[in-house]
Amino acid sequence: MLTPFAMYLDDPSVTDLFVNGAAGLFVDRGAGAIAAREWRATEEEVRDLAVALIGLGGRHIDDASPCVDVRLEGGIRVHAVLPPIAPEGTVLSIRVPRAAVATLTDLQRTGMFDDRVRRRLDEAIGRRENLLVTGAAGAGKTTLLAALLAEAPVEERIVTIEDVAELRIRHPHHVRLEARQPNIEGAGGIGLARLVREALRMRPDRLVVGECRGEEVRELLSALNTGHDGGAGTLHANSLRDVPARLEALGALAGLDDRALARQAASAIGTVIHVERGTDGVRRVTGVGRPVVDSEGRLAIEEERWGPS
């Protein structure tokens, strides 16, 4: 089913493929999405391809369910949107995992952080701090989190919970849980919030939520506030300054007001690590801080002075 993309999937520098209906294919090799002028497909062909890829991932896409996300063999992640939700034609977004799982040393070598930040990251893992890795889509949150968790002692049990399993951790005791979408009748769905509760019964040494997107933030913060240290998660945010507002928005979905969210987050999360992808394509740690409750009882992030500017 992936034959139309074979030449791009064979390129180790490719991280993402985007098909915008009949408008064509865009390829990201680490420096932004560039149009692949040589690629051709009609809207009908793109739709058929979307249906086939989603089916390969064990799900179904049609006019009744026009937006679907799946993970394929090898960790490739496919997201598809059909018209009329995508009015200009079927949209495919394909995330291609790196062939090798990066270590902290690998990431340091690529310029993601310097020696000072490396020491701080090592200390955070060694002290079993609860970590929140933030950044925009494609900034390297999952890659950094996987490298951090790989540094955990081998005798620890890591349980990760994701909407679509992407975290690949070089660790001997890694248990992965993946959410399940409801079937065509709307039954059988198992969301992240329930999986967090289930994971707590599995005696994890480190409980990880791949990405907090909704009400599961309540369960995660509650778990990290009840003795489950060494946990971690990722969060979409454009900067460290945006993290409080983003957490407050998720807390509202879970029924937490701003003050309750602030107290929970400041107690549960030890360190926030923010990553960004520069115009040169290099992913960098651009800030490290910790959640605190400000004078008005709201959440704030206190950035560490030594951190990168």
How many other CB atoms are found less than 10 A from the CB of residue 140?
Answer: 23
For 24-34, write each residue's pLDDT tens digit: 999 988 777 88
CATH number for the segment(s) 104-303: 3.40.50.300
Q: Is 131 a residue whose pLDDT tops 80?
A: yes
Where do runs of H (alpha helix) occur along 137-242? 141-149, 192-199, 216-224
Where do runs of H (alpha helix) occur along the chain? 6-9, 43-56, 104-110, 115-126, 141-149, 192-199, 216-224, 243-253, 258-268
Q: What is the mean pLDDT of residues 62-68?
A: 89
Q: Six-digit token pair at 51? A: 């249906």
> What is the architecture of the domain spanning 3-95?
2-Layer Sandwich (3.30)
- What letter would DSSP give residue 46? H
CA distance 225 to 305: 26
The confidence band for 299, taking pLDDT boundaries of 50, 70 and 90, is very high
pTM given for the model? 0.80
Q: What is the mean pLDDT of residues 4-33?
A: 86
Average pLDDT along the chain: 88
For 260-289, write each residue's pLDDT tens digit: 999 999 999 999 999 998 888 789 999 999
Q: Is 297 a residue whose pLDDT tops 80?
A: yes
Question: What residue spans define the domains of the chain?
Answer: 3-95, 104-303
Pairing state between β 91-95 and 77-81:
antiparallel
Look at 4-8, 105-109, 132-136 and tell me which has the smallest mean pLDDT: 4-8
Q: Six-digit token pair at 290? A: 């910790």
